[in-house]
Chain A
Amino acid sequence: MSFPWAQEYKPQGTVSKWVDERLPLPRLVYNAVGAGYPVPRNLNYFWNFGVLAGVALVIQIVTGIVLAMHYYASVDGAFNSVEHIMRDVNSGWFVRYAHMNGASFFFIVVYIHIFRGLFYGSYKAPREMIWLLGVTIFLLMMATAFMGYVLPWGQMSFWGAQVITGFFSAIPLVGEPLRQLLLGGFAPDQAALNRFFSLHYLLPFVIAGVIILHIWALHIPGSSNPTGVSIKGEQDTVPFHPYYTAKDGFGLGIFLIFFVAVTFFAPNMLGHPDNYIPANPLSTPAHIVPEWYFLPFYAILKAFTVDFGIPFTGIIIIPAKLMGVLAMFGSILLLFFLPWLDTSPVRSGHYRPLFRKFFWYGLIPSLVVLTYCGGKPPYTQWVVLSQLAAAYYFAHFLIILPIVSRIERPLPLPNSITESVTGKPLPAAA
């Protein structure tokens, strides 16, 4: 129990008491997402997205289990088995479209959840472990989504798998053998499809496990809040239930309205037409692009166009392709070091005038540009733009943030959460 004033679970009936003495699971739930968990009273709507991400995972697991009952992981049959689901399985079209768009909405809510953490400094002490686990979940999600996209065995499935596993061949010496080991062959084929299906079914449960750790770690210091000021006493908090269960219920309704609108009225809006063409290893699509949620990283990969070597000697130390792969993985792995790069003791971006400028006018635009350019063919203007944006992205986290946190003079913080909601209003975001 994190706070002394947290309400204690009191089993009412004889059965509840009997269970509580033997396996206090209801007590665990009560303390995790019930009245036993005191939460800052001033959370804004950005704090809904953690729960929404959990709901999105449940949607994916439930629809995914049903799809797996009808799906057939075979290079000859996978494509047609998906169409069998779309045409002949009762409500199969719904389950499949919900799963397909559910992946996109999972990423949308997780991206908002991550940016909330970035802006409000949720990664700072004492919440570093929550952040590290969160980045781990993000990596697992990306692996799961990539392998899931391969399963329908359409053109983009096949060629996406070809490109992504091709990253490993950029590694010197062991690259190509490693790629063949991972694929179980020289190119994506039956062996690769089988193992991708197996892992695509496994990883969501690994994600669920890491989420449990993520929430466990969250309950040690308790939730952060928009002011970033630590909880000082009972007046600063409300019990999670009913206060935040009610607010999350409302947030869930809004989320589902968007989800349902896309799933039922524009189900293919976020997909690529080429994935309705069966995989053909002999015909390369004109533009191989990943799903939208990978586009910024894809843009970073493609932005590295010059080899790193000793000038005028022709000696290449790191070829451009390898550097692109390193940078692409690095762009996510650097998030693991964020708590130690941003050393400002002030958590919330509201009270950090300089940080806030770089966040809104630097980081966000650079990611928007990367997402846009990632889906474009390699014409000069898109390459230049993504090189500029990618350069800013790395500079933002690795150079600018450490310097900003040293030189910045933060605005005065409110004395407490309660004071911030009852007295002085929060300064408006830039």
Chain B
Amino acid sequence: MVRLVAFLVGLFFSGMLLLGLGDTVITAIKEPAVPTVEAAFHEETLPVSFAHDGPLGKYDRGQLQRGLKVYSEVCAACHSLKLVSFRDFAALGYNEDQVKALAKAWKTEVPSINPETGEPATRPAIPADKIPAPFANEVAARAANNNALPPDLSLITKAREGGPAYVYSLLLGYRDQAGYKNEEGKELLKEFPEAATPAGLHFNPWFANLNIAMAAPLAADDQVTYDDGTKATKAQMAKDVSAFLTWAAEPKMENRKSAGWAALGFLLVFTVLAWMSYKTIWADKKH
């Protein structure tokens, strides 16, 4: 009885699936999938490598400091970094006074209340504060950005496929759409004439739907002046800020990797000892 019912159920499910298969194939032949502009012109991330790559990689402190400078002078105009506190900047190699100075000099002040009247007010940031957001709320952010919402950057390298390489590619990925060809030599506007970038958006083949609301933030070389004398090319700034945002998303990465090596070392010894005791105990037993 069980086998009879099973046979019928199996026949039903498998039959419906094969019917569905036929249906899928017929539909695909009758109405072939229309190629999308995203599928044809979206680009994989640009090749870029960082000091923190790989199981032995560590953050390059100088690069993180440069990245912070790019963030604070360029990105921070629109993008918040809500999960990071000023005190966390100690990890970038700043001492206590430098962190205090960074907090105090931050362009946006921290929302507060007037201690006398209770009226809303602002005060300069202190190391214990999170980085203040450039806009008071989502409505204000959208109003200032053509109805687009600049995402918080605290986790951006973990929240996008490709991580820091994605951020790097996106920052350098602005192209003139007129006459743009992909690597296969296909011209976008000839293949997809209706896919012209709408007014107010900007063409960037590294963005998921190719049209991003953000204008190219790194417009020219030397947009920021690095304190360590590094030449601030667009590629250098993009790389530095990508490294900084990787740190912002994963501040404990170095602890994690060093703890990982210690754990692996311990386990290696443990496993060898366990293997030896296994062999010793089983020595007289054929198995």
Contact = CB atoms under 8 A, between A and B. Distances in A.
A268 B161 CA distance: 11
A384 B261 CA distance: 44
A303 B16 CA distance: 10
Contacts of A267: 256
Interface string A259-287: 01101110110000110110000000010
Interface string A223-256: 0000000000000001000110011011011101
Given A256-B267, A306-B19, A242 B159 contact: no
B155 interface: yes
A264 B287 contact: no
Interface stretch (B21-29, B72-80, B118-126, B171-179): B21-29
Contacts of A42: 287
A72 to B, nearest CB: 15
A177 interface: no
Interface stretch (B140-148, B211-219, B221-229, B274-282): B274-282
Contacts, number: 167
Contacts of A252: 274
Contact of A327 (B13, B18, B23, B268): B13
A256 B270 CA distance: 10
Given A83-B83, A337-B6, A399-B11, A391 B18 contact: yes
B271 interface: yes
Interface in B244-277: 249, 251-252, 255-257, 259-261, 263-264, 267-268, 270-271, 274-275, 277
B286 A422 contact: yes
A250 B271 CA distance: 6
B246 to A, nearest CB: 12
Contacts of A138: none
B259 to A, nearest CB: 6
A80 B85 CA distance: 13
A37 to B, nearest CB: 16
B160 interface: yes
B287 A254 contact: no
B277 A249 contact: yes
B14 interface: yes
A276 B263 CA distance: 27
Contacts of B274: 246, 249-250, 252-253
Contact of B17 (A253, A387, A422): A387
Contacts of B93: none
A383 B256 CA distance: 40
A395 interface: yes
Nearest to A252: B274
Given A265-B260, A304-B17, A422-B286, A93 B10 contact: no
Contact of A242 (B10, B16, B158, B281): B281
B252 A341 contact: no
Nearest to B22: A306
Contact of A395 (B10, B252, B260, B282): B10
A341 B2 contact: yes
B199 interface: no
B55 A265 contact: yes
Contacts of A43: 287
Interface in B1-53: 2-3, 6-7, 9-11, 13-14, 16-21, 23-25, 27-28, 33
Contacts of B33: 379-380
Contacts of B249: 276
Given A249-B277, A250-B275, A253-B275, A380 B16 contact: no
A46 interface: no
Contacts of A308: 16
Contacts of A249: 274, 277-278
A9 interface: no
B23 A305 contact: yes
A94 B20 CA distance: 46
Contacts of A277: 151, 155, 159
A209 to B, nearest CB: 28
29 contacts: A41-B285, A41-B286, A93-B252, A94-B256, A238-B287, A246-B282, A250-B271, A254-B271, A256-B267, A256-B271, A260-B264, A264-B257, A276-B159, A286-B208, A320-B20, A330-B9, A337-B6, A341-B2, A343-B3, A380-B27, A384-B24, A387-B17, A387-B18, A387-B24, A398-B6, A399-B7, A399-B10, A421-B286, A422-B286
